[in-house]
Structure 1
Amino acid sequence: MLKELFVNLTILITFNYLFTHLFKERLIHKKDRLSFQLIKGTACGLLGVILMNFGLTYHHSIIDFRNIPIMIAALYGGWVSTATALIIIAAGRMLISLNESALYSMITICIAAVLSLIASRREKVQLKHVLLLLIISNGFISFFFYVFVDIHSLKLHFYFWLISIIGGMLSLYIIEHETNAHLLFKQYKFQAHFDFLTGIYNRRKFEEITKDLYQQAAHTPSLQFSLIYMDIDHFKTINDQYGHHEGDQVLKELGSRLKQNIRNTDPAARIGGEEFAVLLPNCTPEKAFQIAERIRHSISHTPIVLTNGEKLSVTASLGVAHYPRNTDKPETLPVLADQMLYKAKENGRNKVWFSKKKNEFMF
């Protein structure tokens, strides 16, 4: 008796780890694509069939934890997943044997499905909700088995309740824990590579990308690329006059406009407080200048709407450097781009500065 129920519990826990690993963050999406809802439901349905095959056979009845996969399908897949799991489990039960016990089993898992779908409408399903679902569904199962199937063994009912509640609670805990761990990993990975405010790369990730390109240039003589440095003009004045909150709004908007005016394959980064950089692989000097001018124009000709509704005109200065036009050493490109940026500011701001000469500003 305990052996079969323990095997069911072991299968259930193993499935939860595999289920979470396969779907990961998709488990938190209530409105997933139809294909993924079907896949989730199929997985839960097959789990129910496996649990039945390894369940406890008692007086022509199969006692197992197939109601728990139904709950998982409802809580993490929706009604399509639940219906799919129900159909598979029902078909599996009929293939094993079709009798009065099978009919009552179908009724109980349908009840568990309806209750779980109602619970899934909550924004956050907690352990106490799962416990309540298990108590109600187990109550129906015990009622049908005791009254209609004549399973009067109190010991059997006790073990079923004990292990099924442990299995159900563990199921939700494992799925929630693994899902949250995965989301935290994604968050930390994002924070390690991207700027939290603008959503583009941070300085560390940008430097990794540029170093890789520098190494590639050493082995590919025909490789060319450009680097743009951009700085918001008089940004300190914006912060002082409107506050740092509005200054952050300006940074967000400029990060967005930067992405809109470059290719998807061009790495862009916020490398300082109000400083940005764009790397343009396989880009000629003329094209790099055009892109920089387009960025400058998109900033200066469209005011930024602040959170208070006020429109603020902002300008930016940009410096452009190109390899191999401006230098034979790609690793010196940031120095050149910074010097060009300084030249743009020195000559009145709201400009793009680019030299066609080599090593003109090197020191």
Structure 2
Amino acid sequence: MLKELFVNLTILITFNYLFTHLFKERLVHKKDSIYFQAVKGLACGLLGVILIVFGFTYQHSIIDLRHIPIMIAALYGGWVSTAMALVVIAAGRLLITMNTSAIYSVIIICFAAIPSLIVSKRKKVQLKHAFYLMIITNTLISISFYFFIDLHSYQLHLYFWIISITGGMLSLYIIDHETNAHLLFKQYKFQAHFDFLTGVYNRRKFEEITQTLYQQAANTPHFQFALIYMDIDHFKTINDQYGHHEGDQVLKELGLRLKQSIRNTDPAARIGGEEFAVLLPNCTLAKAVQIAERIRGAINDAPIRLTNGEELSITVSLGAAHYPNNKEHPESLPILADQMLYKAKETGRNKVCFSEKKE
């Protein structure tokens, strides 16, 4: 019997790694759609059935760790996941052998799921809460074993408690550790690619995308794209007058309006303190100028509300360049876009400048 419980423990640990890789950050919240909650419950239910298959038989009853998948479903999925897991496990148990012990075991597992559902209402389940939950659940199961299926072997109860506590705590630790590791990796990946303040790409990632676009232009006949450089007018004055905190608020709002003014597939980046850039793949020069004007209007037409409640009107200057209309070599496009941006700032600001001839 110790061998079968150890096999159950091995299966459980293996599943936990697969479970975390399958659902990843969806395990940290329960506000999924009903579909995803049901999928979580189905996965836990199938695990429960596998544990039953590899459990051991004692006086027509199968002893295993099926209550742990129920606990996982409750803590990381909610009541829908728990209900789905219970249905699958109950159906699997009754299909394996239909007898009085099977019916009792279904009743026991449903009864043992109640504490898990109660604990699942907490926003964050800590390991100490999980330990208390395991104690309560194991106590309920042991009492049920003792009185309903006449399982009076103290040695068996001891083995069950040791393997169950070990399996339950290892399961929750692995899921919690792997989920947090995934979220940290996702956070680091975001920080490596995106500007933390505005949510658009950072300069390094933008240059990677630009190099890829250059290669695509070199290898694809008739390929075209545009580059827009944008700079906030008199941004230093804003920082000096309102402080850097309000300046950051301006940058955040500008990044939001910039993303709303372009296609989701158009890479946008913050490439300097108050300077932004946008790449427009498969875009004509006329369309690029139209998009640049849209960006300028989105920022100019509505004031930005600062954190102190004051509204501030700002403007931007933009320079646009196009390949192949303006340059034979796409690598030279940033120089021309920067020249057009400088021209916009020198000739009055709050405007879009571009060249229609090849330079």
TM-score, normalised via structure 2 length: 0.97
Aligned residue in 2 for 1:131: 131
Per-residue deviation, 1:96: 2.6
Residue-by-residue CA offset, 1:307-334 (whole Å, 9 max, x unaligned)? 1111001011111111122211110111
SS of residue matched to 2:295: helix
The 5-angstrom pairing of residues 314-333 of structure 1 reads 314-333=314-333
Q: List runs of 5+ in structure 2 lacking aligned partners.
A: none
CA contact (8 A) 1:280 1:288 kept: yes
Distance in 1 (CA, whole Å) between partners of 2:265 and 2:39 is: 33
Residue 207 of structure 1 pairs with residue 211 of structure 2: no
Per-residue deviation, 1:13: 0.7
Distance in 1 (CA, whole Å) between partners of 2:198 and 2:220 is: 33
The letter for the 2-side match of 1:210 is: T
The 5-angstrom pairing of residues 90-129 of structure 1 reads 90-129=90-129
Per-residue deviation, 1:25: 1.3
Q: List runs of 5+ in structure 1 lacking aligned partners.
A: none
Per-residue deviation, 1:156: 1.0
The letter for the 2-side match of 1:24 is: K
Distance in 1 (CA, whole Å) between partners of 2:221 and 2:85 is: 59
Q: How many residue pairs were aligned?
A: 359
The letter for the 1-side match of 2:234 is: H
TM-score, normalised via structure 1 length: 0.96
Distance in 1 (CA, whole Å) between partners of 2:301 and 2:324 is: 32
Residue 175 of structure 1 pairs with residue 192 of structure 2: no
The letter for the 2-side match of 1:299 is: I
CA contact (8 A) 1:111 1:137 kept: no
SS of residue matched to 1:321: strand
Distance in 2 (CA, whole Å) between partners of 1:288 and 1:50 is: 58
The 5-angstrom pairing of residues 4-23 of structure 1 reads 4-23=4-23
CA contact (8 A) 2:112 2:141 kept: no
Per-residue deviation, 1:300: 1.4
Per-residue deviation, 1:98: 3.5
The 5-angstrom pairing of residues 129-168 of structure 1 reads 129-168=129-168
Aligned-pair identity in percent equals 78
Moved more, 166-175 or 147-156: 147-156
TM-align CA RMSD: 1.3
Per-residue deviation, 1:249: 0.8
Aligned residue in 2 for 1:305: 305
SS of residue matched to 2:240: helix
The letter for the 2-side match of 1:334 is: P
Residue-by-residue CA offset, 1:17-54 (whole Å, 9 max, x unaligned)? 11111111111230211221221111111111111111
Residue 242 of structure 1 pairs with residue 242 of structure 2: yes
The letter for the 2-side match of 1:55 is: G
CA contact (8 A) 1:108 1:137 kept: no
Moved more, 64-73 or 259-268: 259-268
Aligned residue in 2 for 1:353: 353
SS of residue matched to 1:137: helix
